[in-house]
Amino acid sequence: MNPDACVPDPSCALPNVGPITWHCRIGGGGGNGGGGGGSAGPDPSCDLAADDELGSYSKSIDYDESTSTAVMGARGQGLACVFVRSGGTWSLQANLTPDGEPFGDFGAAVAIDGNSIAVGGYGTYIYARSGSTWTQQAALSSGGWAVDVSGNTVVTTDQNGEAFVFVRSGSTWSEQDSFTGDDTVDGDNFGDSAAIDGDTVVVGAGDHGSGGAAYAFVRILGSWSQQHKFTAAGEFAFGKFDASIDGNRAAFFAVGTSSERGRVYVFLRTGTTWAEEDSVDAGDGANYDRMGVSLDLDGDYLVAGAWKADVSSVSDAGAAYVFTRSSSTWTQQQKLTASDGSANDWFGHAVALDGDTAIVGAGRDDTSFGTNAGSGYAFVRSGTTWSQEHHFMA
């Protein structure tokens, strides 16, 4: 699906806002980030082409700090590129493609945890790494709209409003459970977003009711049950596009009460009770920036992409914002932009965060591989400053 396929689909209109060019797919250096950085030329062997849109969807980039590994999906070609970092140098480790006939839209959503990668499209593929070699372990016809992986568990959602959990024993994956929200109905788009950490899954339903909702599920002795329903008063499309969970905190996107400016809500769990901790938007945000359409939460840090943001009057160049927590208050730490950003690059359409590294996708960046081939940027933090370290697929 082309990201513009929602125009002028009336299902993509929000109350009091009108028809919207929504992205209807789930998936410190440079610029204001503080310093150039980047590769000397194109990363080898990741065979991109025009309109592949690497890193174009909200869940099409992920990063694992423990293995210094990033994965980026390019659903235009049906490809996921795996990069590893040694010191400050990034190199391509693998191109992941489906064994046999693909389900379609491969690479629209990706997730990594340690030596496991899940790739979504119209179905879910799971890969395992031994040494530096990646092997497909499973091809699941279920889900693929949004995917995430935690240890030996994968959550994946479909377009019909259902979430599926698969678990691995040895090298075999089997379905453990499937579920919907207690009060979700057809048209709620339950499964718009999904994330897992340990025994907790959060799933968004951006069209539930008048403003959207999200749900938390917990696993006890192999059985999953709903723990909480999240909402945000006065918001639209809450829970749509992207969600993140880290321990007892979860973060969700909402369109914002002011013409798609975008806002991220953070919730904290104490015992079994969830409560809103804070909400954030961009300090220099503007209408239609859509900050938070992509987001990731790790410890005391949150990164949120604003792919429609204008940068120095350059239209839709895009930006990403890093927020940090002190006690229960989240404040903006830095605005990240591409060192070579151009109009309509959509920088920030996908983001990932783990440890001191953030990866940001620019899904419509024109590169040596072609128009709208897409690219990614790595940023690293030293103290309170983020700087651009690498430009993937330039």
- More confident site: 31 or 115: 115
Sequence letter at residue 276: E
Please say whether the beta carbons of 244 and 196 come within 8 A. Answer: no
In 3D space, the residue among 147, 130, 224, 131 whose CA is nearest the CA of residue 192 turns out to be 147
pLDDT at residue 41, as a whole number:
42
What is the SS3 assignment for 280-330? ECCCCCCCCCCCCCEEEEECCEEEEEECCCCECCECCCEEEEEEEEECCEE
Per-residue model confidence (pLDDT) at position 2: 33
Q: Is residue 4 part of a domain?
A: no
Within a domain: 12: no
Three-class DSSP category at 31: helix
Q: For residue 320, which of 308, 296, 333, 336 has the smallest C-alpha distance?
A: 336
Give tens-digit pLDDT for 337-382: 999 999 999 999 999 999 999 999 999 999 989 999 999 999 999 9
Domain count across the chain? 1
Look at residue 5 and tell me if it is in a domain: no
Closest CA to 316 of 349, 279, 272, 277: 349
CATH number for the domain spanning 367: value is 2.130.10.130
Question: What is the pTM assigned to this prediction?
Answer: 0.88
In a domain, 14, yes or no: no
End-to-end CA distance of the chain: 24
Q: Tell me 6's DSSP state.
A: G
Residue 72 has pLDDT above 80, yes or no: yes
Contact between residue 64 and residue 116 where contact means Cβ atoms under 8 Å apart: no
Q: Residue 285 pLDDT > 70, yes or no? A: yes
DSSP state of 5: G
Residue 394 binned pLDDT confidence (cut-offs 50, 70, 90): low
Report whether pLDDT(8) > 80.
no
Q: Coil, helix or strand for 32?
A: helix
Which residues are within 8 A (CB) of 221 and not within 5 positions of it... i.e. 6 or more apart? none
Task: In whole angstroms, give the CA distance from residue 241 to residue 59.
Answer: 8
Domain with 331, as residue range(s), is: 29-392
Summary mean pLDDT of the chain: 87
Q: Which of 3-7, 29-33, 40-44 ranks highest by mean pLDDT?
A: 40-44
Distance, in Å, from the CA atom of 121 to the CA atom of 78, rounded to the nearest integer, reads 9
Distance CA 385, CA 383 (A): 6
| Domain contains 142 | yes
Residue 21 inside a domain? The answer is no
Contacts 24+ apart (CB under 8 A), 176-179: 176/222, 176/224, 177/219, 177/222, 177/223, 177/224, 178/142, 179/217, 179/224, 179/226
What's residue 45's pLDDT?
54
Residue 33 has pLDDT above 70, yes or no: no
Look at residue 11 and tell me if it is in a domain.
no
Q: pLDDT digit string (tens) for 222-256?
A: 999 999 999 998 888 999 999 999 999 999 999 87
